[in-house]
Protein backbone atom coordinates (compact mmCIF):
# COMPACT_ATOMS: atom_id res chain seq x y z
CA UNK A 1 0.00 0.00 0.00
CA UNK A 2 1.39 3.44 -0.88
CA UNK A 3 2.04 6.03 1.81
CA UNK A 4 -0.63 8.18 0.23
CA UNK A 5 -3.28 5.46 0.44
CA UNK A 6 -2.32 4.76 4.04
CA UNK A 7 -3.60 8.17 5.09
CA UNK A 8 -7.18 8.57 6.15
CA UNK A 9 -8.90 11.68 4.86
CA UNK A 10 -8.23 13.76 7.97
CA UNK A 11 -4.72 12.43 8.57
CA UNK A 12 -3.29 13.59 5.25
CA UNK A 13 -3.89 17.23 6.10
CA UNK A 14 -2.11 16.83 9.46
CA UNK A 15 0.74 14.90 7.83
CA UNK A 16 1.22 17.67 5.27
CA UNK A 17 1.43 20.30 8.00
CA UNK A 18 3.98 18.21 9.89
CA UNK A 19 6.00 17.74 6.70
CA UNK A 20 5.80 21.48 6.09
CA UNK A 21 7.60 22.17 9.34
CA UNK A 22 10.33 19.72 8.31
CA UNK A 23 10.74 21.50 4.97
CA UNK A 24 10.88 24.91 6.65
CA UNK A 25 13.47 23.70 9.15
CA UNK A 26 15.62 22.27 6.34
CA UNK A 27 15.14 24.78 3.53
CA UNK A 28 13.55 27.95 4.87
CA UNK A 29 10.58 29.91 3.61
CA UNK A 30 12.09 30.84 0.23
CA UNK A 31 12.41 27.20 -0.85
CA UNK A 32 9.13 26.09 0.71
CA UNK A 33 6.81 24.57 -1.90
CA UNK A 34 3.86 22.23 -2.13
CA UNK A 35 5.99 19.80 -4.14
CA UNK A 36 8.72 19.76 -1.48
CA UNK A 37 6.14 19.10 1.22
CA UNK A 38 4.59 16.26 -0.81
CA UNK A 39 8.02 14.67 -1.24
CA UNK A 40 8.71 14.96 2.48
CA UNK A 41 5.32 13.44 3.33
CA UNK A 42 5.86 10.61 0.84
CA UNK A 43 2.78 11.34 -1.23
CA UNK A 44 2.17 12.27 -4.84
CA UNK A 45 2.60 15.88 -5.93
CA UNK A 46 -1.17 16.07 -6.48
CA UNK A 47 -2.16 14.80 -3.03
CA UNK A 48 -1.76 18.09 -1.10
CA UNK A 49 -4.22 19.82 -3.41
CA UNK A 50 -7.02 17.74 -1.91
CA UNK A 51 -6.70 19.93 1.18
CA UNK A 52 -4.86 23.06 0.04
CA UNK A 53 -5.52 24.80 -3.29
CA UNK A 54 -2.05 26.40 -3.38
CA UNK A 55 1.16 27.20 -1.51
CA UNK A 56 -0.36 30.15 0.34
CA UNK A 57 -3.19 28.08 1.80
CA UNK A 58 -0.79 25.36 2.94
CA UNK A 59 1.49 27.98 4.44
CA UNK A 60 -1.53 29.56 6.13
CA UNK A 61 -2.30 26.28 7.90
CA UNK A 62 1.33 26.07 8.99
CA UNK A 63 1.19 29.69 10.18
CA UNK A 64 -1.84 28.94 12.36
CA UNK A 65 -0.20 25.85 13.87
CA UNK A 66 3.08 27.72 14.44
CA UNK A 67 1.36 30.69 16.11
CA UNK A 68 -0.53 28.34 18.41
CA UNK A 69 2.52 26.27 19.33
CA UNK A 70 4.89 29.22 19.73
CA UNK A 71 2.38 30.99 22.00
CA UNK A 72 2.12 27.85 24.17
CA UNK A 73 5.90 27.67 24.48
CA UNK A 74 6.16 31.37 25.35
CA UNK A 75 3.48 31.02 28.03
CA UNK A 76 5.27 27.99 29.50
CA UNK A 77 8.62 29.80 29.53
CA UNK A 78 7.13 32.92 31.13
CA UNK A 79 5.39 30.84 33.80
CA UNK A 80 8.78 29.89 35.21
CA UNK A 81 9.35 33.47 36.41
CA UNK A 82 7.56 35.86 38.75
CA UNK A 83 9.30 39.10 37.75
CA UNK A 84 7.54 40.66 34.72
CA UNK A 85 10.84 41.66 33.10
CA UNK A 86 12.15 38.11 33.39
CA UNK A 87 8.86 36.78 32.02
CA UNK A 88 9.19 38.94 28.90
CA UNK A 89 12.88 38.10 28.49
CA UNK A 90 12.01 34.39 28.69
CA UNK A 91 10.04 34.92 25.49
CA UNK A 92 13.33 35.38 23.64
CA UNK A 93 14.71 32.02 24.73
CA UNK A 94 11.44 30.26 23.90
CA UNK A 95 11.42 31.88 20.46
CA UNK A 96 15.00 30.81 19.72
CA UNK A 97 14.34 27.20 20.68
CA UNK A 98 11.08 27.01 18.74
CA UNK A 99 12.45 28.51 15.54
CA UNK A 100 15.63 26.43 15.64
CA UNK A 101 13.47 23.30 15.90
CA UNK A 102 10.73 24.16 13.40
CA UNK A 103 12.00 26.91 11.09
CA UNK A 104 8.67 28.69 11.65
CA UNK A 105 9.42 32.08 13.12
CA UNK A 106 7.61 35.38 12.61
CA UNK A 107 8.56 35.58 8.90
CA UNK A 108 6.52 32.39 8.41
CA UNK A 109 3.74 33.15 10.88
CA UNK A 110 3.20 36.63 9.44
CA UNK A 111 4.29 35.97 5.84
CA UNK A 112 3.24 38.83 3.57
CA UNK A 113 1.71 36.42 1.05
CA UNK A 114 -0.86 35.41 3.66
CA UNK A 115 -2.34 38.87 4.20
CA UNK A 116 -4.90 38.47 1.43
CA UNK A 117 -5.73 34.82 2.14
CA UNK A 118 -9.03 34.65 4.06
CA UNK A 119 -8.42 32.36 7.03
CA UNK A 120 -10.19 33.07 10.30
CA UNK A 121 -8.44 30.22 12.13
CA UNK A 122 -5.02 31.62 11.26
CA UNK A 123 -6.01 35.15 12.19
CA UNK A 124 -7.35 33.96 15.54
CA UNK A 125 -4.07 32.22 16.35
CA UNK A 126 -1.86 35.12 15.25
CA UNK A 127 -4.00 37.59 17.23
CA UNK A 128 -3.67 35.41 20.32
CA UNK A 129 0.12 35.28 19.87
CA UNK A 130 0.40 39.06 19.58
CA UNK A 131 -1.94 39.57 22.54
CA UNK A 132 0.30 37.37 24.68
CA UNK A 133 3.35 39.30 23.52
CA UNK A 134 1.73 42.66 24.30
CA UNK A 135 0.46 41.44 27.67
CA UNK A 136 3.94 40.34 28.70
CA UNK A 137 5.40 43.68 27.61
CA UNK A 138 2.64 45.70 29.29
CA UNK A 139 3.27 43.94 32.59
CA UNK A 140 6.83 45.34 32.67
CA UNK A 141 5.39 48.83 33.15
CA UNK A 142 5.05 50.11 29.59
CA UNK A 143 3.20 53.44 29.68
CA UNK A 144 1.05 52.77 26.62
CA UNK A 145 -0.14 50.13 24.19
CA UNK A 146 2.19 51.57 21.55
CA UNK A 147 5.16 51.28 23.91
CA UNK A 148 4.24 47.68 24.71
CA UNK A 149 4.06 46.85 21.00
CA UNK A 150 7.47 48.44 20.43
CA UNK A 151 9.05 46.57 23.36
CA UNK A 152 7.49 43.28 22.27
CA UNK A 153 8.72 43.78 18.71
CA UNK A 154 12.22 44.61 19.94
CA UNK A 155 12.29 41.48 22.12
CA UNK A 156 11.26 39.29 19.19
CA UNK A 157 13.78 41.05 16.92
CA UNK A 158 16.62 40.26 19.33
CA UNK A 159 15.54 36.63 19.55
CA UNK A 160 15.08 36.33 15.79
CA UNK A 161 18.52 37.81 15.21
CA UNK A 162 20.15 35.26 17.48
CA UNK A 163 18.36 32.26 16.00
CA UNK A 164 19.02 33.48 12.44
CA UNK A 165 22.73 33.79 13.17
CA UNK A 166 22.68 30.33 14.70
CA UNK A 167 20.94 28.68 11.75
CA UNK A 168 23.22 30.55 9.32
CA UNK A 169 26.25 29.01 11.01
CA UNK A 170 27.60 32.11 12.74
CA UNK A 171 27.91 30.35 16.10
CA UNK A 172 29.48 27.13 14.82
CA UNK A 173 32.83 27.80 16.53
CA UNK A 174 33.12 26.86 20.17
CA UNK A 175 30.49 24.13 20.04
CA UNK A 176 27.66 26.39 21.14
CA UNK A 177 24.32 24.65 21.46
CA UNK A 178 20.88 26.05 20.83
CA UNK A 179 20.44 26.26 24.61
CA UNK A 180 23.53 28.48 24.77
CA UNK A 181 22.08 30.74 22.09
CA UNK A 182 18.68 30.82 23.79
CA UNK A 183 20.40 31.90 27.01
CA UNK A 184 22.26 34.66 25.16
CA UNK A 185 19.06 35.87 23.54
CA UNK A 186 17.30 35.90 26.92
CA UNK A 187 20.12 37.90 28.51
CA UNK A 188 20.14 40.37 25.60
CA UNK A 189 16.37 40.77 25.83
CA UNK A 190 16.59 41.34 29.58
CA UNK A 191 19.16 44.11 29.00
CA UNK A 192 16.95 45.62 26.30
CA UNK A 193 13.88 45.67 28.53
CA UNK A 194 15.77 47.83 31.00
CA UNK A 195 15.25 48.59 34.68
CA UNK A 196 11.92 48.32 36.43
CA UNK A 197 9.71 51.36 36.06
CA UNK A 198 9.42 53.39 39.24
Write down all domains in the chain, each with its CATH number in brackets.
1-52 (1.10.10.60), 57-193 (1.10.357.10)
Q: Residue ranges of the alpha helices (H) in the chain? A: 3-6, 9-27, 34-41, 55-78, 84-102, 106-109, 120-138, 145-167, 178-193
pLDDT the model gives residue 91? 96
| CB distance 167 to 185 below 8 Å | no
pLDDT the model gives residue 2? 42
Per-residue model confidence as pLDDT tens digits over 78-129 = 999 999 999 999 999 999 999 999 989 999 999 988 988 888 989 999 999 9
Per-residue model confidence as pLDDT tens digits over 75-87 = 999 999 999 999 9
Per-residue model confidence as pLDDT tens digits over 7-56 = 555 588 999 999 999 999 888 888 899 999 999 999 998 989 989 999 99
Amino acid sequence: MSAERAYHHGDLRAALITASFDVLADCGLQRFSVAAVARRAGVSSAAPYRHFPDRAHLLGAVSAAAAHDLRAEIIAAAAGHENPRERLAALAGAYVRYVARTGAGFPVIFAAELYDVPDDARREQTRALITTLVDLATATGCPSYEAAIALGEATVAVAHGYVSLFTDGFFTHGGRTIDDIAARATAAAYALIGPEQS
